Amino acid sequence: MRQVLVLGLDGAGKSSVLHYISSEAPKDRTAPTQGFNSVQVCAEGFQIDLLELGGSQNLRFYWNQYLRHSHVLVFVVDSADGPRLPTARQELHCLLAEDLQLPLIILANKQDKSGALSVVELHQELALDTLNSQREFFLLPTSATQAALATATSIRHVKSLLLELLARL
């Protein structure tokens, strides 16, 4: 079994990302995660355990305790929530300091919202140029919605990348 840890601030869209990685069924509304969500996906001969921990401030304390059991970190950012990007950057860099090798996928989520920052702008806002050169990381534009499944910001791209990364292990 391969574990993927899905983190990000509350409201970034982590639960929707999990839903659309595991299913293409429509989903109307997603309640905030009060602890954690777990989804198992079987693909290409192995099982992926996607573990999402809630992003509220009181739950972020627990994030780094799950890093050592994970094979890939997915960090979801609300691209349209400019005022909270400094907090997202700080939390991301604290996590990355705990594990210098863990592959990282950053999802620039909510690309369908007006005012969403581009991938280039988020790269700068999240100070990704300061990352350890040994770390493999990806920054993908996403919209975790049913309507976006057929677009360039589809969660399908995330699933494909996860499968590619996990197949190397």
Mind listing the pLDDT tens digit of every residue in the chain (169 residues)? 899 999 999 999 999 999 889 887 777 777 777 888 999 998 878 899 999 999 999 999 999 999 989 999 999 999 999 999 999 999 999 999 998 889 999 999 999 999 999 999 999 999 999 998 888 999 999 998 888 888 887 888 899 999 999 998 8
Q: Structural domain boundaries of the chain?
A: 2-167
The model carries a pTM of: 0.95
Give the CATH number of domain 2-167; options: 3.65.10.10, 1.20.1580.10, 1.10.10.10, 3.40.50.300. 3.40.50.300
The answer to whether 50 and 38 are in contact (CB under 8 A) is yes
30 Cβ neighbours under 8 A, 6+ residues apart: 15, 16, 19
Per-position DSSP letters for 15-45, written without gaps between them: HHHHHHHH--S-----PPPSSEEEEEEEETT
